[in-house]
Amino acid sequence: MYDLLSIDADKFNNPCYIEQRVALAEEKLRGSLRTCLAYLYKDDGPVNLPRKRLLDARPYLEPAELVLVQWLYTRTNGKLRKTYGAESLKAARAARYRCSVCRFADVRVLNLDHVHGKVQGTPFACLCANCHAIKSRQFDWMQPVDPQTETQSASNNLADFPQ
Ligand SMILES: [Zn+2]
């Protein structure tokens, strides 16, 4: 069994907590760490993270924060910015880095789901891998099998279930 890698709820919107963390950093890196923690934990915090600030802050981040910041940076500043962007960060932050359906808290299994497909400006849901897979396949059981592509396995065909 793996240890849970999660984020405590009391870190959010807590300026004292951020300043305690910042005080432990090398002086010239404090500004970057403050920005990075505000990006992760403040509802009105920055919605993107310049690469230099991310790199400066990394040595002072905890394991769950390192996973999160890499996952989010790719979506707000990196190569997935056009299909995700600031709204995806806001959704993950508002969900407190937990699954919006079952509240599972391990940051390694979180997905940002496009609620209405990959359309710019539409909302996102923060879901764990299980809830995301169930949502994606929630109507599979009533779709007919396509004989051309056989997109559904035989075991999904109702005729195969024991009576
Ligand atoms: Zn879930």
Distance of CA 112 to the CA centre of its chain: 5
Rounded to whole angstroms, the Cα distance separating 34 from 53 reads 9
Long-range Cβ contacts of 116-119 (<8 Å, 24+ apart): 118/83
CA of 133 relative to ligand 1 center, distance in Å: 9
CA of 31 relative to ligand 1 center, distance in Å: 35
85-125 pLDDT per residue, tens: 999 999 999 999 999 999 999 999 999 999 877 666 678 99
CA of 136 relative to ligand 1 center, distance in Å: 13
pLDDT confidence band for 140 (50 / 70 / 90): confident
CA of 98 relative to ligand 1 center, distance in Å: 8
Give the pTM: 0.83
CA of 122 relative to ligand 1 center, distance in Å: 21
CA of 100 relative to ligand 1 center, distance in Å: 7
